[in-house]
Amino acid sequence: MSEFSAMNFCSDNVTGVAPEIMQALAEANHGTAWPYGNDDWTRKIEGQLAEIFERKVKAFPVATGTAANSLALATMCPPYGAVFAHEAAHVMVDECGAPEFYSGGAKLIPVAGQHGKLTPDGVAAAIARNRSTDPHQVPLAAISLTNATESGTVYRPDEVRAIAGIAKAEGLRVHMDGARFANAMAFLGVPAKAVTWEAGVDALSFGATKGGAMAAEMVVFFDDRLAESFAYRRMRGGHLVSKMRFVSAQLNAFLADGLWLKLARHANAMAQRLAQGLQRIPGARLAHPVEANELFVVLPAPVIKGLREAGAEFYDWKMTFLATEELNVIRLVTAWDTDPAKVARFLKVAGEVAAQAA
Amino acid sequence: MSEFSAMNFCSDNVTGVAPEIMQALAEANHGTAWPYGNDDWTRKIEGQLAEIFERKVKAFPVATGTAANSLALATMCPPYGAVFAHEAAHVMVDECGAPEFYSGGAKLIPVAGQHGKLTPDGVAAAIARNRSTDPHQVPLAAISLTNATESGTVYRPDEVRAIAGIAKAEGLRVHMDGARFANAMAFLGVPAKAVTWEAGVDALSFGATKGGAMAAEMVVFFDDRLAESFAYRRMRGGHLVSKMRFVSAQLNAFLADGLWLKLARHANAMAQRLAQGLQRIPGARLAHPVEANELFVVLPAPVIKGLREAGAEFYDWKMTFLATEELNVIRLVTAWDTDPAKVARFLKVAGEVAAQAA
Amino acid sequence: MSEFSAMNFCSDNVTGVAPEIMQALAEANHGTAWPYGNDDWTRKIEGQLAEIFERKVKAFPVATGTAANSLALATMCPPYGAVFAHEAAHVMVDECGAPEFYSGGAKLIPVAGQHGKLTPDGVAAAIARNRSTDPHQVPLAAISLTNATESGTVYRPDEVRAIAGIAKAEGLRVHMDGARFANAMAFLGVPAKAVTWEAGVDALSFGATKGGAMAAEMVVFFDDRLAESFAYRRMRGGHLVSKMRFVSAQLNAFLADGLWLKLARHANAMAQRLAQGLQRIPGARLAHPVEANELFVVLPAPVIKGLREAGAEFYDWKMTFLATEELNVIRLVTAWDTDPAKVARFLKVAGEVAAQAA
Amino acid sequence: MSEFSAMNFCSDNVTGVAPEIMQALAEANHGTAWPYGNDDWTRKIEGQLAEIFERKVKAFPVATGTAANSLALATMCPPYGAVFAHEAAHVMVDECGAPEFYSGGAKLIPVAGQHGKLTPDGVAAAIARNRSTDPHQVPLAAISLTNATESGTVYRPDEVRAIAGIAKAEGLRVHMDGARFANAMAFLGVPAKAVTWEAGVDALSFGATKGGAMAAEMVVFFDDRLAESFAYRRMRGGHLVSKMRFVSAQLNAFLADGLWLKLARHANAMAQRLAQGLQRIPGARLAHPVEANELFVVLPAPVIKGLREAGAEFYDWKMTFLATEELNVIRLVTAWDTDPAKVARFLKVAGEVAAQAA
């Protein structure tokens, strides 16, 4: 990949840092500040979040989404417990076992579901299959939902409420992996509380990195008791950044004046533009509804080849049930900085190649 | 603490980011880059280190010193093994059990030693006390040396060689916690290899954060085999930063053109100036030789009180054997940005208060 | 359950201890003996096993099957690795996460397969789905086969060889959970090596408890390197029994003069007798082939009710796809001491109830 | 060691099983019984203990002392916590890190103390040194006392109360390692409650193996809340013995009719006899008061040599501060089955060799 790619849709983490956040880092770089989060920038975060979520919360900045997820889950699930998550969830397949590590060996139980989403029925069935009072089986401790999902779809408030309700009735805690929470919120257009604590979420991994920050995420607790051990767990995991003001300053800027939503709206809009354009390509089909900033598109092989020859960058995606020799699936991710001109060019190339191939 | 303290000697992590490093971050913020370290900035680091250490190395950036130390130790020590370290070492008492966590439950065995240093005799005795072939006892796996030490002293090459020799003869691996490695090197004025791999060090936690970076450390392996599992361990610990170029750009700048040594030399020089000035205060005494950027000073209680009233900030230090009702111990830490004018003012205040008290 | 049940087919661990083994315990109870396995009884085991497996082995006694399995897997799989096993395997669903605990957080990946067995195709597909060189995914480390399976079926040598071959080609280690290895061997009638090391098995949990011992299992290593850390892991897990001679004496007796096979043959024969008899019941159907000492039988609900009223004890089994309101699935387990008269009575009652219900 | 040693004073785990306990095992071996502790033998234990401790308790049988200790500590100390214990405690130096393993990486902090005992002052000082509210330091969670100690001494009720009082005031839990609790109780002659729950002990590892059982220990909880996770932790550790009746039957017999105290009294009496006899040897000296069933004796080298030549077996003990070239320290352990004739012979030989050497 050239460092200055013309049409890079590989991921939202190939992007840089939003100017407002870069500016905040520069401004934070004056004088001395207490380390380890005893600084004004860090103190400000909970106030900002209280406004967004319309209630008091406990929040802890960390530098990576994997740290946020696995530390949050470790507060909810004992070493001998079980966590349900979608079979394609980041915590399940993309964190090299970090939740198992941070929990001290908990079991992650994969649950299937279309378009990256768990369903109330799927969760109820998974609970029924795994519920036990016999110590031979791990007790069920938590469920983790990803919003926006790994398939680019978004849970609605009532979907979260239904799943969380089933979980709560069973004594399970509810975690939301919000690495792309901003994209989900930008799509939903509801108050943040509607899809989190009001719907039964106990802790949220609220991501900023993919949304425009450099390396900054928050674990937001809606249940104070879960937060009790967090400071120790974070330190012990090596995630208490000493010059914390520089993580927190990113978060301050991200949360201020709705920047997080503004950046996410742009990413989502670019995804919609791609989706609409690609659906005009003969043979093209969306594998999942496009609701956030990720697209999974079935495309004729020559179109994929032609796009790559024209300099476009994106990943092939393993969805064997949709792919054939002539049709393949690719993933496209838009971001806070996606240039509309590049989207236009991508669609133009796709159209041209498709026409030639026809 | 005011965020813009006049005389803040609390720690080197109360400081901000060196301008050269801030500049490097700004420059890295253009276009797209592969995430997770597959970028030009990250690739550059091993070349820079090869020059500094005069040999090929494997190096992995992480964001915190605790992550660097505990991940490095986890590659050296099985879950059922033991690591020796100075009883006041950061890995022993300041990481909330991170080495125990990352190793999967290894035992850290404290070893005493004057001025924060292990000695060959002390290490030999500790080995003799703990050596066993009986599975009732944990097998000895590694030793961790801190350079510069937590007492502001510096191991010489022959000291490291002597200790590492004893360790190696016993089959132990040798780790060096170099959160302040730059300060040690600035003091020693020898080639970096002399106090690391040539002396028997297998892995070094090479810190940049305290030395002027924002949040950037490296684990440097001089033994390739130890590096084999590192990528998995780092990911699993949540320490694989997605927009890695922004960690690596800090390190590139820190290592380029000897910036790391230049910044450390300034910090060390300011410490020397403080040491010389304070020794003129009646009743003052240095608890440890001042070799890097930390001072531990016994001072009359009224002088300490007077300094604080004048706005100076620093920590009281627990060294009960040196302290009395009338004499107490404080820690002063200088840094890459310590203003000589503030040092002068600090010494002036100390002199005046001492004179009044006399 | 009455302690002296007439027709108890709940499990093979409701049974007592075979007289030969009880006798061996009494004989071992004379004089003093070195603790922790440095005794003649323990030393004898590897010789006995060498004869059975026709090669040198390393063997370690432990008291439970869960200890044997999870300690064996911990020698094969790093904390950040993955182990494949059948979705109904004991290691997967009946050990409260012991493999995760002993490995330090490894991921157990469930693989489906009819009648409790993995297939070469199933394993190959699972590997293909989970294989990765990216540190975001756990590296594949081992596969665990259960023989006899949890469904009462038995892997043939060529089945083990085919699966192990695929595993080995991928760099995976192969573990066999042989809690009922004796029952498998009694069924197969082949040399023990044919279904273990010759077929590619690296370590075997060789159970004696269910087969007639009090509390005694062995971890048998066919690859010496895996055994290197075992003594430490066992001690650390609290599984180094101090008066080890009393575990080893059980194993000595179990292995001597083919007692293990003789007891297993009886158990298997009783299972066959039950299987043949129950198949004559109208509506009855075997859910799995009966090859070892467990039967899973679909029976009309009134028959089940009638058997229980007559004093028979057994578990209902969750196999929702076979069960209806009128037909249910039960599990019957025979053992080394199953009384043929009780089998006859069970079948007689079943026949009578079925006739009445018709 | 011959298996039928004439004068074996190596340990109390070189002994066999008391006849009453062997008998109980034989009696338990009739008919079927529910596995995993759902049997009459296991149910009986809590009633027996309630009588001994004069209150309701929760109790869980396990097969080894290391399992009992480390599982008990794991219920008291989070993965990120610290446990204090004597620097020579079994949990500290003889369990290959089992407490670290079971807790998930807790820190064991060694505390010094004469004759194997912690003192209120020593504990208070250790707490003062390690107390912190900063997440850089592990929070203090528990203290473990060994009674009888590893030095053959016994904590009195008021000693336990004083230490537990300090611990409780700091929010710490109190564990007692009672691998030789019977020997302590036989020495003290007070009600069991006086040195346990009345004195502030929350959980006791109550050993039977050294006292005459085959392999049987109990974790006794005086605080029900600690017991909540125990069943899961025990299963996950592989310590839920399937044919549990055979562990519990040992415990039933051990606790019945004061057998445990009777056996311990004999062991203690034999230790006293040895102590009195050896003190008459010129140059002999007891390194610790003899209160339970272990002696640590400084003896002239020729006496030690002579005893060994006469067939006596015992361990040399590392107590370098007491040993010289001419005087060495040995450990002698008596047991429930120590033959007075062998004690007499041992003393006779020692006297003769000493006379010759003089």
Cβ B84 vs Cβ B171: under 8 Å: no
- State residue D1's pLDDT score: 40
| Contacts across the B-C interface (CB distance below 8 Å) | 42
Which tokens in the block code for residue D179? Answer: 């691998």
Cβ D37 vs Cβ D62: under 8 Å: no
Residue D140's closest chain A neighbor by CA? A232
Assign 3-class secondary structure to chain A.
CCCCCCEECCCCCCCCCCHHHHHHHHHHCCCCCCCCCCCHHHHHHHHHHHHHHCCCCEEEEECCHHHHHHHHHHHHCCCCCEEEEECCCHHHHCCCCHHHHHHCCCEEEEECCHHHCCCHHHHHHHHHHHCCCCCCCCCEEEEEEECCCCCCCCCCHHHHHHHHHHHHHCCCEEEEEECCHHHHHHHHCCCHHHHCHHHCCCEEEEECCCCCCCCCEEEEECCHHHHCCHHHHHHHCCCCCCCCHHHHHHHHHHHHHHHHHHHHHHHHHHHHHHHHHHCCCCCCEECCCCCCCEEEEEEEHHHHHHHHHCCEECEECCCCCCCCCCEEEEEEECCCCCCHHHHHHHHHHHHHHHHHHC
Average confidence (pLDDT) over B143-148? 98
What residues of chain A have any CB closer than 8 angstroms to a CB in chain C? 79-80, 82, 93-97, 100-101, 103-108, 135-138
Chain C contact set for A97 (CB, 8 A):
79-80, 82, 105-107, 138
Our CA-based measurement puts residue D187 at a distance from the nearest CA of chain B, in whole angstroms, of 28
Scan for tokens 């509309």, then name that residue: A340
Whether A100 and C96 lie within 8 Å, measured CB to CB: no
Mutation to test the D interface, candidates A77, A102, A136, most D Cβ within 10 Å:
A136
Read off the pLDDT band of D3 (50, 70, 90).
Answer: very low
Cβ B195 vs Cβ B96: under 8 Å: no
A74-93 as b/e, with b when 16 or more CB fall inside 10 Å?
Answer: bbbbbbbbbbbbbebbbbbb
- State residue C1's pLDDT score: 40
Average confidence (pLDDT) over B329-342? 96
Chain A contact set for B29 (CB, 8 A):
16-17, 22
- State residue C5's pLDDT score: 52
Average confidence (pLDDT) over C248-256? 98
Our CA-based measurement puts residue B66 at a distance from the nearest CA of chain A, in whole angstroms, of 5
Per residue in B80-110, pLDDT (tens digit) is: 999 999 999 999 999 999 999 999 999 999 9
Per residue in A259-270, pLDDT (tens digit) is: 999 999 999 999
Cβ A85 vs Cβ A92: under 8 Å: yes
Which tokens in the block code for residue C157? Answer: 């040598």
Residue C241's closest chain D neighbor by CA? D64
Residue-averaged pLDDT of chain C: 96
Task: Please state the φ and ψ torsions of residue B97, each to the nearest 5 degrees.
Answer: 80, 20
Mutation to test the B interface, candidates A13, A32, A334, most B Cβ within 10 Å:
A32
- State residue A323's pLDDT score: 76
Residue B241's closest chain C neighbor by CA? C136
CA angle D52–D56–D58, rounded 5-degree value: 100
Preceding amide of D194 cis, omega within 30: no
Whether D4 and C31 lie within 8 Å, measured CB to CB: yes
D282 contact partners, CB below 8 Å, separation of at least 6: D300, D354, D358
Read off the pLDDT band of A2 (50, 70, 90).
Answer: very low
Average confidence (pLDDT) over C210-238? 97
Q: How far apart are CA D208 and CA D202, in angstroms?
A: 19
Whether A246 and B95 lie within 8 Å, measured CB to CB: no
Our CA-based measurement puts residue D55 at a distance from the nearest CA of chain B, in whole angstroms, of 35
Average confidence (pLDDT) over A169-180? 98
Cβ C243 vs Cβ C237: under 8 Å: no
Which tokens in the block code for residue A275? Answer: 């989706």
Residues β-bridged to residue B111: B86
- State residue D5's pLDDT score: 52
Rounded percentage of chain B residues whose pLDDT exceeds 90: 95
Per residue in C268-303, pLDDT (tens digit) is: 999 999 999 999 999 999 999 999 999 999 999 999
CA distances from A200 to A85, A108, A110, A196, A222 (A): 16, 20, 21, 6, 9
Residue-averaged pLDDT of chain B: 96
- State residue C83's pLDDT score: 98
| Out of C78, C79, C135, closest to residue B240 by CB | C135
Which tokens in the block code for residue D119? Answer: 């003192």
Position B249 pLDDT exceeds 90: yes
Cβ D8 vs Cβ D1: under 8 Å: yes
Cβ B81 vs Cβ B173: under 8 Å: no
Chain-centre distance for alpha carbon B88: 12
Position C31 pLDDT exceeds 60: yes
Position A254 pLDDT exceeds 70: yes
Per residue in B262-280, pLDDT (tens digit) is: 999 999 999 999 999 999 9
Whether C232 and B135 lie within 8 Å, measured CB to CB: yes
What residues of chain C have any CB closer than 8 angstroms to a CB in chain A? 79-80, 82, 93-97, 100-101, 103-108, 135-138
Position B358 pLDDT exceeds 90: no
Angle between helices D245-255 and D19-28 (to 10 degrees): 140
Whether B3 and A33 lie within 8 Å, measured CB to CB: yes
CA angle B277–B282–B283, rounded 5-degree value: 105
Residue D100: closest CA among D112, D118, D113, D85? D85
Whether D31 and C3 lie within 8 Å, measured CB to CB: yes
Which chains are within 8 Å of C by 3+ CB pairs? A, B, D
Per residue in D224-259, pLDDT (tens digit) is: 999 999 999 999 999 999 999 999 999 999 999 999
Residue-averaged pLDDT of chain D: 96
Whether C106 and A95 lie within 8 Å, measured CB to CB: no
Cβ D261 vs Cβ D337: under 8 Å: no
Per residue in B165-204, pLDDT (tens digit) is: 999 999 999 999 999 999 999 999 999 999 999 999 999 9
Pairing outcome for strands C140-146 and C173-178: parallel
Read off the pLDDT band of D340 (50, 70, 90).
Answer: very high
Preceding amide of C148 cis, omega within 30: yes
Pairing outcome for strands A140-146 and A173-178: parallel
Per residue in D252-292, pLDDT (tens digit) is: 999 999 999 999 999 999 999 999 999 999 999 999 999 99
Position C94 pLDDT exceeds 90: yes
Which chains are within 8 Å of D by 3+ CB pairs? A, B, C
Whether C237 and D3 lie within 8 Å, measured CB to CB: no
Residue C100's closest chain B neighbor by CA? B104
The better pLDDT of the pair D337, A327 is held by D337
CA distances from C234 to B50, C229, D243 (A): 42, 9, 21
Residues β-bridged to residue C140: C82
Is pTM beyond 0.90? Reply is: yes
Per residue in C66-92, pLDDT (tens digit) is: 999 999 999 999 999 999 999 999 999
Residue C87's closest chain A neighbor by CA? A109
Read off the pLDDT band of B5 (50, 70, 90).
Answer: low
Mutation to test the A interface, candidates C10, C87, C96, C320, most A Cβ within 10 Å:
C96
ipTM for this prediction:
0.96
CA distances from D237 to A73, B134, C143, D107, D124 (A): 22, 22, 21, 19, 33
Residue D300: closest CA among D277, D321, D284? D284
Read off the pLDDT band of A5 (50, 70, 90).
Answer: low
Average confidence (pLDDT) over B208-229? 97
Strands (DSSP E) contained in D99-226 are: 107-111, 140-146, 173-178, 203-207, 217-221
Average confidence (pLDDT) over B282-298? 96
| Contacts across the A-D interface (CB distance below 8 Å) | 42
Our CA-based measurement puts residue A135 at a distance from the nearest CA of chain D, in whole angstroms, of 5
Our CA-based measurement puts residue A33 at a distance from the nearest CA of chain B, in whole angstroms, of 5
Rounded percentage of chain D residues whose pLDDT exceeds 70: 98
Mutation to test the C interface, candidates A136, A140, A315, most C Cβ within 10 Å:
A136
- State residue D238's pLDDT score: 98
Whether D80 and A139 lie within 8 Å, measured CB to CB: no
| Out of D36, D135, D139, closest to residue A240 by CB | D135
Per residue in B32-71, pLDDT (tens digit) is: 999 999 999 999 999 999 999 999 999 999 999 999 999 9
Read off the pLDDT band of A332 (50, 70, 90).
Answer: very high
- State residue C4's pLDDT score: 43
Q: How far apart are CA A33 and CA B16, in angstroms?
A: 8
Average confidence (pLDDT) over D70-87? 98
Mutation to test the C interface, candidates B36, B75, B136, most C Cβ within 10 Å:
B136
| Out of C80, C105, C137, closest to residue A105 by CB | C105
Position B318 pLDDT exceeds 50: yes
Mutation to test the A interface, candidates D36, D60, D229, most A Cβ within 10 Å:
D229
Phi-psi region of D257 (alpha: psi -120 to 50; beta: other; left: phi over 0): left
| Out of A14, A26, A40, closest to residue B32 by CB | A14
Average confidence (pLDDT) over B233-248? 98
Q: Tell whether the torsion through CA atoms of C79, C81, C83 and C84 is positive or negative.
A: positive
Cβ A240 vs Cβ A159: under 8 Å: no
Per residue in C152-192, pLDDT (tens digit) is: 999 999 999 999 999 999 999 999 999 999 999 999 999 99
Whether C97 and A108 lie within 8 Å, measured CB to CB: no
Position A324 pLDDT exceeds 90: no
Average confidence (pLDDT) over C113-137? 96
Whether C136 and A96 lie within 8 Å, measured CB to CB: yes
Position D321 pLDDT exceeds 90: no
- State residue C311's pLDDT score: 94
